[in-house]
Amino acid sequence: MVAAGSFIAGMLGALTGLGGGVVIVPLLTLAFGVDIRYAIGASLVSVIATSSGAAAAYLREGYSNMRVGMFLEVATTVGALSGAFIAAYISTSAIAVIFGLVLLYSAYSAARPGKDPALGLPADRVATFLKLDGSFPAQSADGSRKAAAEDGSAAEREPYHVRNVPAGFGLMYVAGVLSGLLGIGSGAVKVLAMDQAMKIPFKVSTTTSNFMIGVTAAASAGIYLRRGYIDPALALPVMIGVLAGALVGARILPGAKVKTLRVVFAVVIAALGAQMIFQGFKGKL
């Protein structure tokens, strides 16, 4: 049952860029009665698996922006270490309430329609200096990827410009803190920062987020491991399920219409968030 739930979490995390941790932690704590700190430890391991499974596929498809991801990981890694350090001094009930609030925000973020505001915008000086601009496979009218030309040449690519680099860098630190504190990939904040603040096309934001969450989680997983909060008997089935789901999600995303999926995901996450807040205030986690 744990592996099956993890499979669904990994698939949804890969498709939306939010990371499977937003499902794994409440699933383990609410459905299986796992202590929230051990659930966070298992979630961090699964987030690394999600990123590893999805990132390679997205790189082959030509969506992820490696330069943006590596640059922003500086902020998220420092934030993740900060969050993991803070977690030792906060009660489990407080963590549950904070997690529930993040879930509600993630639901709101997931339900919003994706846009590609960067297309056609002028270049940004900071992004140009750091060579962060890129391109991604051209989209057809229904939002799916255009097929390669009949002569066998590569599919058409659309260029885009990255904007507001300092604001995005600051939001990535916040995403890192949430990752270390709550054991999630904090993909909602990452996607929001890239999509809304930095004006990166939505599918590029999603796929780059999937690449980044593993590095962020790895930074804080070591601290949880040293404190004994990673149980191999729990983490292994979670990791296997999430990795399998992430690989399936990565194969679906390039040609998928994710609007319906995002709405379903938002409803599930909102329900889990409300339950986490309720249980946190009751002191049962």
Range with the largest mean pLDDT of 155-164, 225-234, 265-274: 225-234
* Residue 138 CB neighbours (<10 A): 11
Contact 197, 164 (CB under 8 A): yes
Nearest CA to 153 out of 140, 141, 142, 138 is that of 138
Residues 6 or more apart whose Cβ sits within 8 Å of residue 164: 124, 197, 198, 199
Mean pLDDT score, 19-45: 84
Would 145 be classed as within a structural domain?
Answer: no
- pLDDT, tens only, 53-88: 667 777 777 888 989 999 999 999 899 889 888 877
Would 57 be classed as within a structural domain?
Answer: yes
The span from the CA of 165 to the CA of 37, in Å, is: 34
CA distances from 177 to 123, 150, 182, 253 (A): 30, 48, 8, 28
Would 246 be classed as within a structural domain?
Answer: yes
The span from the CA of 244 to the CA of 11, in Å, is: 8
Whether residue 169 is predicted with pLDDT greater than 50 in this model: the reply is yes
Would 82 be classed as within a structural domain?
Answer: yes
**DSSP assignment, residue 155?**
P
Whether residue 120 is predicted with pLDDT greater than 70 in this model: the reply is no
Residues spanned by the domain of 74: 2-93+113-133+158-266
**Would you state the pLDDT for residue 110?**
65
Would 275 be classed as within a structural domain?
Answer: no
> In total, how many domains does the chain have?
1
Would 148 be classed as within a structural domain?
Answer: no
**Would you state the pLDDT for residue 149?**
47
- pLDDT, tens only, 176-207: 888 787 766 677 678 778 887 888 887 788 78
Would 153 be classed as within a structural domain?
Answer: no
- Above pLDDT 90, what percent of the chain? 11
**Who wins on pLDDT, 2 or 117?**
2
Which 3 state secondary structure label does DSSP give 158? strand
The span from the CA of 202 to the CA of 117, in Å, is: 8
Would 72 be classed as within a structural domain?
Answer: yes
Residues in a beta bridge with 157: 137
Token pair, residue 71, equals 């640059």
Whether residue 151 is predicted with pLDDT greater than 50 in this model: the reply is no
